[in-house]
Chain A
Amino acid sequence: MTTTTIVAVPTGARRGATAAARPASVGSALLLLPALLLLLVLFVGPLVLMAFESFRDGIGTYGTIFTSVSNRRVFANTLETAVATTLVCLLLGYPYAYALLRTGRRLRTVLTACVLMPFWVSVLTRTFAWVGLLQDTGVINSFLLARGWIAEPLAMIRTPWGVLIGMVQVLLPYMVISLMNSMSTIDDQLLRAAYSLGANPWQRFRKVFLPLSASGIWAGCTLVFVLSLGFYITPSMLGAPSNMMVAELLVQETQKIGTVRASAIGLILLAGMLLCLAFFRGLRGLPALVRERRS
């Protein structure tokens, strides 16, 4: 649900730009005001307050967070989980998006619906379903046990694997939609040209299709990576307490201790996300930079 709309924005904005030059009036400022007030008070305001709150006991709060071994493990675990989730999403999503765009119209509608359907169902419901499937007495384990294929339940829930299985399912649609967006702009003529020049399927894919879809890979990976950094529901239900992620730490701090350290953790998470975004955006320009250097 979220992505369809997010992806729809650029087109809408661009089309809006061409249809510009509407009659301007003084009243248009009044139209903007209520929403701006809402955003200022309920979005910008809370973030600023959170930043102030984090410094209430001085800068030392940040020091204690970074020196705490258990907190450092939470940060490391969050990064590892995000990287793993992103890679698995790419591995599953790339062939899926490719097949979706290469197939007939009817099948394409079905495959698109399968990607969008998860957005219709709340993360809570999907996580409950995964608990029912993965837990020791759950569907998968009781099936395997009944068949005698395993002697004791496989440990899936409360492991990093359980978290990965759940998070990939929730985030895969974001990857597929980003990839679809960039793959759909690839000109078929280029592949046909490669074919007529004698490139085999693998060469056509590696030398033509893959480089042309690179922007979608970047966009999808960035989106999935940044979103998984802030995940809360899925890891806290499917993961073990020893594999906690930053969002869970933040909630736990707020509930048990108070808002100062929690605010600092929130600010670190936010800064981390923004840094990642800037980093990925920078890396995206790198190939062009290298080419410039070489020529």
Chain B
Amino acid sequence: MSTATLPHATWRARLRRPRLQLRHLLLGAFVGLVVLYLILPTLFIIPMSLNSSPSLGTLKDGWTLRWYLTLAQDPVWRKTASISLQVGLASTALATVVGTAFTLGLVRLSPRIRAFLQGLSLAPLAIPPVILGIGLYILFLNLDLYRTMASFILAHAVLALPFVVVSVSASLSEFDPNQERAALVIGATPLQTFRRVVLPQIAPGIIAGALFGFVSSWDEVVVSTFLVSPGMKTLPVEMWTQSRTTLTPVLAALSTVLMVISTMLLLVISRLQSRGKDQ
């Protein structure tokens, strides 16, 4: 076909094409920069933890594992990590049991009450932690629980609850309630029905919720700063306190270790969630 007979529309499309590509190129470059902004700073913590300069963020003087060694030898980190672990496990256990029961109860309610109660159970995440922190501080002072581990466990449990409720709700919405009815009809007791029909199917959701809850407790700083006392400190609070005076590469080393742990746990969660969807 000669150019002269090309329809007008095709010509316009041809003319537009280079401009279109430039537009996409610019967008691509922009997105690339945003990706770097989102990802790079966090990954920079790794070289920061491996550099021998004692000032964080100064990358010269060669590389070393010294900060990881210091980290392993310092009893403060071992003690606070152990407290964090105990608080994390206990609060996760509490939130998981209570939250799973709550979610199972929710589906039996009318939509309106259900929406209200679900909103209430998610609200602890929406409130700025400083506000909840001061409220809990006053509460625990009044209850004589201040300076105890129980105060941390209870506070972290209420913060982990939303993760459990959301995760279990999601897996429960995939579950066919007719199976539950069928089990009841053929004579299973409610407890048997739950244990042998419902529980196995929503288990991935419960475990994912528990892991989310644990990670949230393990990382929690702000609410915990209101509850700490000299003998009772969680790991992130100790990091926060130390960073207020000097920010050393030891903190970067610790951050790296924590980042690796959280990433592994979250990979487990995504595996669980994708398996839940396959079924």
Give the B-binding residues of A (Cβ under 8 A). Answer: 1-2, 5-6, 8-9, 11-13, 15-17, 19-25, 27-32, 34-36, 38-39, 41-43, 45-47, 49-50, 53, 92, 95-96, 98-100, 111, 114-115, 117-118, 120-126, 128-133, 135, 137-139, 142, 169, 172-173, 201, 229-233, 237, 247, 250-251, 254, 259, 262-263, 266, 269-270, 273
Contacts and interface: CB of A to CB of B under 8 A. Distances in A.
B132 interface: yes
Interface string B119-140: 0111111011111101111110
Interface of B: 20, 23, 27-28, 30-31, 34-35, 37-39, 41-42, 44-45, 48, 55-60, 94, 97-99, 101-102, 104-109, 111, 114-115, 117-118, 120-125, 127-132, 134-139, 142, 154-155, 157-158, 161-163, 165-167, 169-170, 172-173, 176-177, 180-181, 184, 190, 212, 215-216, 219, 221-222, 225-226, 236, 239-240, 243, 247, 251-252, 255, 258-259, 262-263, 266
Nearest to A118: B38
Given A19-B173, A32-B102, A126-B41, A42 B139 contact: yes
A17 B111 contact: yes
Contacts, number: 289
5 contacts: A1-B266, A16-B169, A32-B105, A99-B28, A115-B38
Given A9-B118, A19-B107, 14 more contacts: A12-B170, A22-B180, A25-B190, A28-B108, A35-B98, A35-B121, A43-B123, A47-B127, A126-B41, A132-B45, A138-B57, A142-B58, A201-B20, A263-B135
B118 A254 contact: no
Main secondary structure of the interface of B (DSSP, over half): helix
A118 B42 contact: yes
A92 B30 CA distance: 8
A45 B30 CA distance: 47
B118 A13 contact: yes
What 9 A-B pairs are tightest by C-beta distance, nearest first?
A230-B128, A46-B135, A132-B57, A31-B105, A35-B102, A138-B57, A122-B219, A32-B105, A125-B255
